[in-house]
Amino acid sequence: MMDRFPHLAQRLFNVPLAVLPEKAEVAMAALADRLGIARLFRADGDAVVLAGNDAIGAFMGGASEPREPRGYDVVAGVAVIEVQGLLVQKLGTLRPACGMTGYDGIRANLLAALVDPEVRAIVLDLDSPGGEVAGCFDLADTIFAARGSKPIWGICAESAYSAAYALASACDRITVPRTGGVGSIGVITMLVDMSKALAAGGVTVHFVYYGEQKAEASRAELTGMSKGVLERVQASVDRAGDLFVDTVARNRGLAPAAVRATEAACFDGELGVAAGLADAVMAPDEAFRALLAELDAA
């Protein structure tokens, strides 16, 4: 694990995260070196055929149909895309792996399903505490822009919090079970101050840098947090938080003030509906049957 720590630190510390705070330590152990993969792979290690320019071309009408194998299941004409566990910008697989789901995989699956002639509607099968801010809101915009092409439902298999809720909010309809939840519309950054531990160990770190704010968060981690660093990090978190609020307000047709007033709270079942963050309290199978009924009635 120690040889992977610099990579983990780059993803987890000093950057905004849209994740439940209690899941942060789990994320530290889980992310490892799976991030930053340029190509997408299936769980068996084979390269994915629909990625990058192919996926973009499909979304723009450049491909007549997706190529097998798909990264989603088609059930009664509905593409079911899994959104499970910690959400990361790049995982490199079309399906969840090692307790994580990549925005890259979700995007590729969504774009493929939109042009798949076998697919009448799309479901995001959600059960996630959230994850990285990086890539989240671009994907939410893509989902939102796809509204009207095919019905897109966010069905919470249990809960959709933080970054997962940002994605869910972009869907046409959101359902949540009685014991599940939605919300946590907030952003968190973990700043680690190792200065005292280093001093106690007799270690002094000297930085040589150009530009006063160059790597200041990393310098603060090792030499102590200054008020200026904390203020700039807070400003960055605030900008990400405002983007989150504005995105949910647009997606759900809510006033930004109402979304901000949730104060990043999590809402169980019917409370999420009452807050305007979900549309119905339904078990996942009940929600799926409701979508099929709507499709058959159309």
Q: How far is CA 223 from CA 8, 94, 116, 182, 213, in A?
A: 20, 41, 54, 39, 14
6 prior amide bond cis, ω within 30:
no
pLDDT of residue 18: 72
**Which of 214, 226, 227, 236 is flagged as catalytic?**
214
pLDDT for 226: 81
CB atoms within 10 A of CB 198: 16
- How far apart CA 222 and CA 240 sit, in angstroms, is 25
- The one catalytic residue in 128, 159, 162, 169 is 162
pLDDT of residue 68: 53
pLDDT tens sequence for the chain (298 residues)? 344 444 445 555 556 777 666 555 545 444 434 433 334 555 555 555 443 334 333 333 344 344 457 899 999 999 999 999 999 999 999 999 999 999 999 999 999 999 999 999 999 999 999 999 999 999 999 999 999 999 999 999 999 999 999 999 999 999 999 999 999 999 998 877 787 887 888 888 777 777 877 777 777 777 777 888 888 889 999 999 999 999 999 999 999 999 999 999 999 999 999 999 999 999 999 999 999 999 999 8
- What pLDDT sits at residue 228? 85
The pLDDT score that the predictor gives to residue 116 is 96
Active site annotation includes 214: yes
Q: Is 162 a known active-site residue?
A: yes
Tell me if the bond preceding 69 is cis, omega within 30° of 0.
yes
| Main-chain dihedrals φ then ψ at residue 195, nearest 5 degrees | -60, -40
The backbone region for 130, taken as left when phi is positive above 0, alpha when psi lies in -120 to 50, beta otherwise, is: left
Give domain limits for the chain.
2-187+264-293
| Class level of CATH domain 2-187+264-293 | alpha beta
pTM score of the predicted model:
0.79
Enter the tokens of residue 37: 């993969």
